[in-house]
Structure 1
Amino acid sequence: MVGACTADQEELTVWMEQQRRDVKPNVQPLVAPKKFVAAPYGGGQVVDPFSNQKLSVALKQEARQPNSLLAAEMSRRKEALEQYPTDSMSMVGSMTEPKSGRQFALLKVDSLLYQVKLGDHLGQNFGKVIRITETEVALREIVQDAAGEWIERTSTLQLQEKAR
């Protein structure tokens, strides 16, 4: 049986050599890339569309409109916790004042502890504390929807349990 396989292999080798000689590869030449012509940027004197200046002008224009949710927000003085996003804050506790019964929440931001009460403002979306319980702080925020309209939404900060 071994002898029979070797005889066919010689014929196969001859056929493969013949195929190598006869077949020529047909490779299409690559098209030369188009030359890139750089256009000079002429917007150096124009206000950057992402600048804080442009955003503040747009917010002030929005606040001037009657019935705008932003009108009251733009005219008041900013509070300390409004420079932080709400996702960087964590509620670590709550307290109730014994005499008046007023509730306070303790929020931790950048390893500092802040005490907030009803009506305080926090977060970068014009958040205002509307409810404090033992386990959460509810906020009313003013954000833009997909159509660019300013709407109110409610969000919460939950009490963070310490891992044991």
Structure 2
Amino acid sequence: MKQSIVWVLMLGLMGCRANDDSLTQFIQDAHQTARAKVEPLPQVDDFVADDFVMTRDRVPFLRPLPEHQESGDGGNKACWQPNLARIKTPLETFPLEQLAMKGVLGDGSQLWALIYTPEGKLMKVTTDSYMGLNHGRIVEVTSRKVSVEEILPDGTGCWIKRTVPLMLAQQ
């Protein structure tokens, strides 16, 4: 009986030979018919670089020299200069945007403005007091605003003045 089972298995294994001829034929056909359809590249003209011709004495790859160089003797003496040696007040350590006018005090002859700092201090100022980072001098104190004259550099060694109002803060 054992021998007959072995013979049956042997015959069965011989009959299970793979028939992959059709699969091989399909792969060969697919390789022959599969063609990528690629459009040809457009014709591109050759790039021709222009030669650099320097027309001025200035080299374009270096930073330009400043138009106005200040001399070592303190700048241009022909225009007005602020007093930079003046001792600064505590209100000159804050930008005007961070200061707030909270009220006024005074009698008929003189008004004092109450200025609130970012540190939470309330300070009293009047005309000719200084505040702000740009050498700001108070030129007028009214019940509704403080007019501050700031002095800004104009880039040529001179200074320009502008008046900035600091309005009474609304609660």
Q: Give the alignment's TM-score, normalised by structure 2.
A: 0.54
Shift of 1:88: 0.7
Question: 2:80 aligns to what?
Answer: 68
Please give the root-mean-square deviation of Cα atoms over the aligned residues, in Å: 2.8
Shift of 1:140: 1.1
Asked whether the equivalents of residues 69 and 142 of structure 1 are also in contact (C-alpha less than 8 Å), the reply is no
Question: Aligned partners of 1:66 and 1:22: how far apart in 2?
Answer: 80
Question: 2:107 aligns to what?
Answer: 97
| Higher gyration radius (CA) | 2
Q: Secondary structure in 2 aligned to 1:81?
A: helix
Amino acid at match of 1:155: V
Q: Give the alignment's TM-score, normalised by structure 1.
A: 0.56
2:166 to 145, 151, 157: 157
Question: 2:147 aligns to what?
Answer: 138
**Aligned: 1:23 with 2:23:** no
After TM superposition, the structure 1 stretch with the greater mean CA deviation from structure 2, 147-156 or 112-121, is 147-156
Amino acid at match of 1:106: L
Identity %: 25
Higher strand residue share: 1
Amino acid at match of 1:145: D
Asked whether the equivalents of residues 94 and 105 of structure 1 are also in contact (C-alpha less than 8 Å), the reply is yes
Pairing of 1:107-122 with structure 2 (within 5 A): 107-110=115-118, 111-122=120-131
Shift of 1:22: 3.0
Asked whether the equivalents of residues 69 and 151 of structure 1 are also in contact (C-alpha less than 8 Å), the reply is no
Q: Deviations over 1:81-127 (max 9, x none)?
A: 111111110111111136xx210001111121111011101111111
**Structure 1 residues 90, 25: CA separation in 2 closer, same or farther (over 3 Å shift)?**
farther
Question: Aligned partners of 1:157 and 1:116: how far apart in 2?
Answer: 12
1:127 to 136, 140, 144: 136
